[in-house]
Amino acid sequence: MNSDLAGKSVTEAPRSEDVGVRFSARNLAIRYGFLALLAGLIVFFSLATRGFASPQAAVFILQSVSITGILALGVTATLVVGGFDLSIGSIATSAMMAAAYVMVILEQNAFVAVVACLAIGALVGLINGLIICYMRVPDLLATLGMMFLLIGLQRIPTEGRSIAAGMTLPDGSTAEGTFSAAFLALGRHRFDFFIENLVPAAVVVLIVLAVLIWFFLEYTRFGRMMYAVGSNERAAEFAGAPVKAYKIWAYVISGVFASIGGILLAARLGRGDIASGNNLLLDAVAAALIGFAVLGAAKPNAFGTAIGALFVGVLLQGLTMMNVPYYTQDFVKGAVLVVALVFTFALLGRNGR
């Protein structure tokens, strides 16, 4: 459809060698290599293990990547504007602690807890954005500082203890509040999907957010301008874009997504556990960076991030089912990330985008 329209108005410049390149094996590999690898992995694990190729296993994989996937989608927004957000992991754990604190100690309901968490995420994102845009602190350093700050801050209200129903408070009394059933449902309810009680709420949240951010980045003018800011900030400014506003919004999106991840984490655990969530940052960043390689995009993109998260999930689940020991997991994740990055920057870079 494109070619016949173009043929009427475009000054045609047939460059046969370019057309040839477009369909070469190398370009096919760049475009579909990672998706083919993912399909290959799924086929391999389905044949090599029993039970991998089942709806339950598929859902389990999605559930295992749901929280890191949500964080990764958020950090993708900051990558799109040419930034980075290292504070997502600690925003998520702060949100988890805040949810527990609001329900257990302040004895509020699920709605208040969720709103408090989202507000924390948005506020931290806003502060990150302001520090980066107006104080001109480099993004990595600003969000690294914020990460430390939040890791410390979330422990202060409870003097360093985890929050659970019935815990003893610093003043010696016992906490009266509990996690409300409605809140716990976010982590534990399963929707029927052909099979009863199949799809956990967290997976539904992941899919909804993935579709939302994908549509936002690909099809709205705000998403397009964010890509413009990330690709050439000066050109975007000279085209009339409020560059700082777009950057700040990206960090707010990242903060809110991270706090949603924190809410789901709290709902899954049923307590505010200061020891959990250590891997969230690295896993989420890995998923977003692996996403660069998907479809030969060579840039942050929501679809790639989702596939990247899925890729890590499939790989780890498959290896676990093949009885590969747990302590090799980080190595496997790291190896996948390195391969994906080499794929993106060495192969695509030479191709000139």
Applying CB under 8 A, the residues found at the interface with other proteins are 2-3, 5-6, 9-13, 15, 18, 219-222, 224-225, 227-228, 230-232, 234-242, 299, 352-353
- Comparison of 2 and 323: residue with beta carbon closer to other proteins: 2
Rounded to the nearest 10 degrees, how much is the dihedral formed by the CA atoms of 280, 282, 287, 290?
A: 180
Is the torsion defined by CA of 184, 188, 193, 194 positive or negative? negative
Q: How far is the CB of 21 from other proteins (least distance, A)?
A: 10
Q: Token match 């527990």: residue? A: 100
How far is 264 from 24, CA to CA, in rounded Å? 44
User: How many Cβ atoms sit within 10 Å of the Cβ of residue 224?
Assistant: 13
Amino acid (one-letter) located at 131: I
Task: At 306, list the tokens.
Answer: 């989702």
- Comparison of 3 and 173: residue with beta carbon closer to other proteins: 3
Q: Which one, of 89, 83, 341, 306, lies nearest residue 214 by Cα?
A: 306
- Comparison of 80 and 88: residue with beta carbon closer to other proteins: 80
Q: How far is the CB of 7 from other proteins (least distance, A)?
A: 9
- Comparison of 197 and 231: residue with beta carbon closer to other proteins: 231
| 3-state SS, residue 190 | strand
Q: Which one, of 73, 66, 71, lies nearest residue 88 by Cα?
A: 71
Q: How far is the CB of 204 from other proteins (least distance, A)?
A: 24
Q: How far is the CB of 10 from other proteins (least distance, A)?
A: 5
- Comparison of 155 and 299: residue with beta carbon closer to other proteins: 299
- Comparison of 188 and 244: residue with beta carbon closer to other proteins: 244
Q: How far is the CB of 160 from other proteins (least distance, A)?
A: 39
Q: How far is the CB of 181 from other proteins (least distance, A)?
A: 37
Q: Exposed, middle or buried: residue 11 (CB in 10 Å: 0-12, 13-18, 19+)? A: exposed
